[in-house]
Amino acid sequence: MTRLSVRLAETAGFCMGVDLALQRLDRLIEELGGRPIHILGPIIHNPQVLERYARKGVVIAEKPCDVPEGGHVVIRAHGIPREVEAELEARNITIKDATCPKVKKAQVLIARHTRDGRHLLLFGEEDHPEVRGLMSYAAGEACVFGAPEELDKCPLEKGGKYVLAAQTTQDREQFDRLAAQLDADPGLDVTVLHTICDATKLRQKEAMQLAREVDAMVVVGGKNSGNTRRLAQVVLEQGTPVVHVETAEELDPDAYRAVSRVGVTAGASTPRDLVEAVIARLESF
């Protein structure tokens, strides 16, 4: 029987922003020596990582008021809205900011370029925590849309001034088409902010290339991770069969009986050991 050939994308797994956030959390755990640490929402979108931190006493706070006065809180890689940060500071809570530098840069750019009253057009997932944070930095009105065809829900007035930005993990090609479409309208004054992370673009590009060279793809990462879901989406758009799994146990051996080459990639919040477990299971088929 021929052994299944498994190829791993070079950039699979943790991105710089996630790695930095976890390093900061690890240092705080060590500094506080067992004292409670709260995080506003999950530090990253990966259930297995969250379980590990829960065993170390890290508590996920759903609302700012869940963090006790005078306590310690870590701002996750996605960032938080401005008003939430102000509320924490007012309650004498020690803040450890682990916002991804790329997200922080997007926040600063949006604040700077909407000071003159420009309206923000944000390409992203409305309910995503990063998007809620980015929207809070707009000085004027803001509208968020989840797909290029949904831009119609944002009222665009002739002679209006706008800023176009994106959630850092959005599809770069779709964003570029949007920017070109708006730029071609002579009745609009649009400033385009390039806020999509280069690591996201590279990860998607590698996934698409790998998908064209194998018979099937496996994308590893949290089901609630936006960047991981988009990896699966760009692979599917290449016409390659793809499955999105969180753990190796989800893989079905029967699905690979007629397959000789499988590609593997992983979302930016997926730890290396989960990726390696998936590869080991695939190679055992």
- The two three-digit tokens of residue 259, written as one number: 């397959």
Residues in the chain: 285
Q: Which residue type does 151 have?
A: L
CA torsion sign for 33, 39, 43, 46 is positive
Task: Identify the three-state secondary structure at position 53.
Answer: helix
Q: Give the span between the Cα atoms of 137 and 276, in whole angstroms.
A: 39
CB distance 26 to 52 below 8 Å? no
Q: Give the span between the Cα atoms of 168 and 195, in whole angstroms.
A: 6
Neighbour-count burial of 212, counting CB atoms closer than 10 A to its CB (0-12 exposed, 13-18 middle, 19+ buried): exposed
Is there a catalytic annotation at residue 249?
Answer: no
Q: Give the span between the Cα atoms of 246 and 29, in whole angstroms.
A: 26
**Set 31, 87, 126, 130: catalytic member:** 130
Q: Which residues are marked as active site?
A: 130
